[in-house]
Structure 1
Amino acid sequence: MSAGLEVVLRAERLSKSFGGLKAVQNVSFTHYAGEILAVIGPNGAGKTTLLNLLSGVYRPSSGRLELLGQDITHAPMERRCHAGLGRAFQVVRPFPEMTVLENVTVGALFGMPGTRLPEARERAYDLLERTGLADQADRAAHELTLLQDKRMEVARALATHPRVLLLDEVMAGLRPGEAAEAVELVRSVRDGGISVLFIEHIMPVVRDLADRVVVMDGGEVIATGSYREVTAHPQVVTAYLGTEEGLGA
């Protein structure tokens, strides 16, 4: 990715401290339109804190964040959502007694204020078809398998009309075949015109899916580039216990 492409998300020296703990320190990166960008790092690297800063769960101690050229550094979560930022969480928390269709309809109603219920339901059903869940539309959410849960979480996030979608370890807990299906789902999201930023610890998934990779350690960015570039970076090798096997190379 290079100059001339549209920047959809830009972080400039984002930092977050919790008392004396510096969880994220001076993190800067640029996310381009149509790009699948991975954020990786060992446990405690600050990845989830960064995602919470991007989505508005936390406010930064310092730094700046732009979405589609708009300053959202201190914007609440709902404003970020309405401006085009969606998020799917690692731990899915649906409305368990509501149907799958109703859960995704809630996302459509929240993401586009003023949307009428019939329109929201139509969008929700379209997204269930897109994510392979149309045949589960009338089932209660608590009856879904883990893979179906993950698909519903992505559908709920897509229902908010994002331009940028944040994914928090959506492959966690999936079997290899299920993870392969999830990879294809993420690719289809990007192919539909939505830029994707994802956190992941399964390195073969990162290798196969990411256009570029941001590597964090100790709350800081230590490398940015293609998968091949970052996995050859000496600091990255050290962060992953000093072995190529640790990187899943």
Structure 2
Amino acid sequence: MSAPTASTVPLLRAQNLAKRFGGLMAVADISFDLYGGEILAVIGPNGAGKTTLLNLLSGLYRPTTGQLQLMGRDVTNLSMEERCHLGLGRAFQIVRPFPEMTVLENVTVGALFGKSGTSLGTARAQAWELLEFTGLSAHADKPAHELTLLQDKRLEVARALATQPKVLLLDEVMAGLRPGESQEAVELVRRVQAGGVSVLFIEHIMPVVRDLAHRVVVMDAGRVLAQGTYAQVVREPRVIEAYLGSEMSSEVGVEAEVASGAGH
């Protein structure tokens, strides 16, 4: 997938981020940029530090060292709420809506939380628009606990979008979905990006990474192993050894060759 024209100033910039838990260095010296209109994938084996990185970006964790900038502003020491109000949204892998509240009410809460001073009427109107955008409007009055897994995932994205983010963090939103459902989720992320939101997502499913990501950051043992386009990183010997394996690398290498030849 070809990258959009990047602005000169990244929307999100991580500089030498590190996080230590006691004697364990979970993330070490992570640096990357996310630009306007871009979809950036973070991949790597289990235990590579991907979710810890997302927790650092969203403000759930504070880094031991390093700096994070959002739209040129230092947000390293800001809370999750403060980062959210500045335009950083997150959808979690394990979806935890308010189960007894309706789908519409769940998204309305996100709209009220995202921007201070939003009236209930405005928040409900914004929530309804997002239900239509995510394909959930037919389920607006249904309690959230009655949704299917795919609908749960859509609700999680809708709630995150309700905060009006400029940058959206997605933690394995395809997990547990069937292939057809994953393709629906891919199309939803594309529409999010087309609507002006830059996306950073963690994913294990390589065809999803191939189809969605403009660039890919590969992590291993808490560090960045490689950065580049999908076609570039799947050919990296270190990535093959640490994550893909020789059999899988030959398969994704053929995919990358086809995609590169097609001009994607």
Number of residues of Structure 1 aligned to a counterpart in Structure 2: 249
Offset at 1:5? 3.5
Offset at 1:177? 0.2
> Taking structure 1 as reference, are residues 15 and 199 closer, same or farther at Cα in structure 2, changes over 3 Å only?
same
In structure 2, give the amino acid aligned to 1:158: L
1:87 and 2:90 correspond: yes
Aligned to 1:133: 136
Is this contact kept in 2: 1:203–1:248, CA < 8 A? no
Aligned to 2:257: none
Is this contact kept in 1: 2:7–2:36, CA < 8 A? no
1:68 and 2:71 correspond: yes
> Taking structure 1 as reference, are residues 59 and 135 closer, same or farther at Cα in structure 2, changes over 3 Å only?
same
Q: 1:151 aligns with which of 150, 154, 158?
A: 154
Offset at 1:243? 1.4
- What CA distance in whole angstroms lies between the structure 1 residues aligned with 2:189 and 2:26? 28
TM-score (norm 2): 0.92
- What CA distance in whole angstroms lies between the structure 2 residues aligned with 1:181 and 1:4? 29
Write out per-residue CA displacement over residues 121-176 of structure 1, whole angstroms, 9 at most, x where no aligned residue: 00000000000000000000000000000000000000001000000000000000
- What CA distance in whole angstroms lies between the structure 1 residues aligned with 2:104 and 2:9? 34
Q: CA RMSD in A?
A: 1.2
1:195 and 2:198 correspond: yes
- What CA distance in whole angstroms lies between the structure 2 residues aligned with 1:124 and 1:12? 35
Aligned to 2:14: 11
> Taking structure 1 as reference, are residues 7 and 247 closer, same or farther at Cα in structure 2, changes over 3 Å only?
farther
Structure 1 alignment gaps of length 5 or more: none
1:165 and 2:168 correspond: yes
